[in-house]
Amino acid sequence: MKLRLIKTTGLILSVLILISIIVACGSEKTDSDPQKNAELSETTNIVNSEESPVIDYFEGLPENDYGDYEFRFLVRNMERWLTDIAVFEVNGEIINDAVYERTLNISEKYGLVFKLIKSSNDNYETDGMNSILAGDDAYDVIAAHPRAAAVYGNAKLCLDWNSDIPCLSLDQDWWDQDCKANLSINHKLYTMTGDISWCSMGAANAMLFNKALFDKYSLKAPYQDVLDSKWTFDKFEELVKNCSADLNGDGIMDYQNDQLGYVTHKWVGPVQSLYVAGERVMTKDENDMPVLSLYNEISQNVFDWFFGILDSEYAWCQIDGNSWEDGFTNVFMEGRSLFIDLNMSDISKMREMDDDFGIIPWPKKDESSEYCTNVDACTNLFIIPITNTDTERTGIVLETMCRIGSDKIIPAYYELVLQTKYTRDQESVDMLDIIKKSRVFDIGYYNAELGGQFANQFADFAANKNRDLASWYNKNESKVLANMDKITANYMD
């Protein structure tokens, strides 16, 4: 059932989705356990238990009909990047069908056909640059790897979301306010995200804890500590050290055989540790210009604290492969780690884990600090090429996508995350809310051309035994500062 630009009624849409669900329920993949199906219904009720404000998706926007115009997105060629933007068939999957409904609603309202143009690969992609440089109006919007999006901006190939695109309500919560504040240079905002993208939620870092091990050690789940602002570095470290065990009795603690307090990947914990201390690679001055802020007393202290844990016998950091590949995740799934941190999108790996687990944010530096959650670069950021010939149409489409995303798709993503083997409680919903609200975007991390050697910050240290942060910083500071001057000059006119 292909999505075409027809005036389908809401009744027909409901029937189509109902049919897809019935078909999916009859497939071999569906769990036939009545108790589990009842639990899934309970999860849906939990996610939707609180009254949400009604969003008029089209309020205040022009009543235009674009006559079957093909609205073109350039997107990396991987299913999750593509389904982040538009879907043309229902299949009974939660996110797929929520995005399908958004695609259909916007298509019918404005007389549009969404067209996804697949780039040449699924990673760091800049396929659109040649056509923009040639002056071709080939794409309305580019959904890019965050570091690729910065390359477009640094080359002055993007329009400014703050001034060039009408019909956007960038101050609304459905647009990410931290992204808006921190990814601009000289008040020029060339890339943006928000609830338009469920992948931006999936790329947020979260921490999981093994409930069976908490029970084994007669520990109380940390949910209430999170809510009471008592979920801190000190609390985390205490639990990590007290809940490790030499399971095979050989006197050597290792991740292959023993029980650890904490496992991570070099692109998760080491990167995240800087942000939960309230620090960033770069901040902004009063003129909205980037200021190098990576190295100070706080960042040195959190570096010493985190790598003190990582270098102990109680923890293990995977330094090779990608963060979504097997390795550190297997240790947790086998019930041999009290804590793991990973991208939200990777929680689906844990669905067949025997032990129950809970979802919480990373601990914060102290009780007076704020929870902060890094959004990994494994997401989409949106840029609008300077060759775009109808900025009003583009603004209308992006604004509507974001409004519907806030109302329908992000709640659907919550439901997807909670559809693990066990995790279906109100506490988990509260934790997801905290994680969503605490997301941070660091221009020094996302804009690798700007951040230079410091763009990878603490991840570089995970792969070697050099723990001299001051020496590393001093060695690279002048080079990064010179590079910053060169890059920011492109934002001055």
Handedness of CA 12, 17, 22, 24 (dihedral sign): positive
The predicted model scores a pTM of: 0.86
pLDDT (tens digit per residue) in 324-349 = 667 899 999 999 999 999 999 888 88
Query: Tokens 């009003």 correspond to what residue?
Result: 392
Q: Residue 402 is which amino acid?
A: C
40 and 140 Cβ atoms separated by less than 8 Å = no
Q: What is the CATH number of domain 204-377+435-491?
A: 3.40.190.10
445 and 457 Cβ atoms separated by less than 8 Å = yes
C-alpha 269/C-alpha 204 separation (Å) is: 12
Asked, colleague to colleague, whether 64-201+378-424 and 204-377+435-491 share their fold, the answer is yes
Domain boundary assignment for the chain: 64-201+378-424, 204-377+435-491
Residue 325, both tokens: 């590949």
pLDDT (tens digit per residue) in 457-491 = 899 899 888 899 999 999 999 999 999 999 999 99
pLDDT for position 322: 67
pLDDT (tens digit per residue) in 206-230 = 999 999 999 999 999 999 999 999 9
pLDDT for position 6: 31
Q: What is the CATH number of domain 64-201+378-424?
A: 3.40.190.10
Mean pLDDT, the chain, integer: 87
Contacts of 171 by beta carbon, 8 Å cutoff, 6+ apart: 177
Going by their DSSP bridges, the two strands 141-144 and 381-383 should be labelled as: antiparallel
Beta bridge partners of 124: none
pLDDT for position 191: 97
pLDDT for position 374: 93
Helical spans, DSSP H, in 203-333: 211-216, 223-227, 233-242, 269-276, 297-310, 328-333
Helix, strand counts (H, E) of the chain: 21, 13
Report CA-CA distances (Å) from 37 to 30, 40, 219, 348.
9, 5, 30, 18
pLDDT for position 30: 36
Nearest to 360 by CA among 156, 178, 150, 204: 204
C-alpha 9/C-alpha 351 separation (Å) is: 37
315 and 240 Cβ atoms separated by less than 8 Å = yes
Spell out, as residue ranges, where the chain has pLDDT lower than 70. 1-54, 322-325, 420-425
